[in-house]
Amino acid sequence: MKQKIHIKVLLLATLALLGATSVNASAGHDHAPHQNKGGPNGGRLITLVEPYLEFFVTPERFVQITFLDQDGKFVPAGEQIVSAVGGDRSAPVEIEFVENAGMLRSTKALPDMKNMPIILQINATPDAKRVREKFYLNMSACSSCSFKEYACICGH
């Protein structure tokens, strides 16, 4: 019986020590320069591909994709292929994009929903492997920063 209690105490102490170590390690972790930085238009910054891209919803609910270099400067759209699926899961909306002034713009407006799942699919080049970014497009205003919740940079 004493041995079972001793093992439980040892296990709990080890878990507590590991938890404290991971908290301390993450507190001192230096984030890459592109993190915690919004896109130039106030959209969500996607850094899974290069050039990076900003997913921005216009006031008319169209999606605008702006390509950016590592310094956040505009890069005209090249051969990238971008598509998205969003809206109600029982009736998803496929979102296609066309090039417009060096950016990509959706061919139709998003459904008028406050919070919807989005699956963004990106091919950096036509023969590149497809990369997916999944997130909820929460159109509520963040109470701590000047962005919408889907693009929030304050880390809450």
Kindly report, residue by residue over 89-108, the tens digit of the pLDDT: 898 999 999 999 999 999 99
- Among 8-22, 32-46, 60-74, the least confident range: 8-22
Kindly report, residue by residue over 50-72, the tens digit of the pLDDT: 999 999 999 999 999 999 999 99
pLDDT for position 143: 87
pLDDT for position 19: 45
Structure tokens at 124: 């950096």
Task: Read off the pTM.
Answer: 0.74
Q: How confident is the model at residue 22 (pLDDT cuts 50, 70, 90)?
A: very low
Report which DSSP code applies to 151. Answer: G
Mean pLDDT of the chain: 81
pLDDT for position 1: 54
- Max Cα-Cα span within the chain: 74
Query: Under DSSP, is residue 4 helix (H, G, I), strand (E, B) or coil?
Result: helix
Q: Angle 100-103-105 (CA atoms, 0-180°, nearest 5)?
A: 65
pLDDT for position 88: 86
> Within 10 A of 76 (CB to CB), how many other CB atoms are there?
11
Burial of 113 (0-12, 13-18, 19+ CB in 10 A): middle
Q: Judge contact between 53 and 66, C-beta under 8 A.
A: yes
pLDDT for position 10: 46
Kindly report, residue by residue over 119-143, the tens digit of the pLDDT: 999 998 899 999 999 999 999 998 8
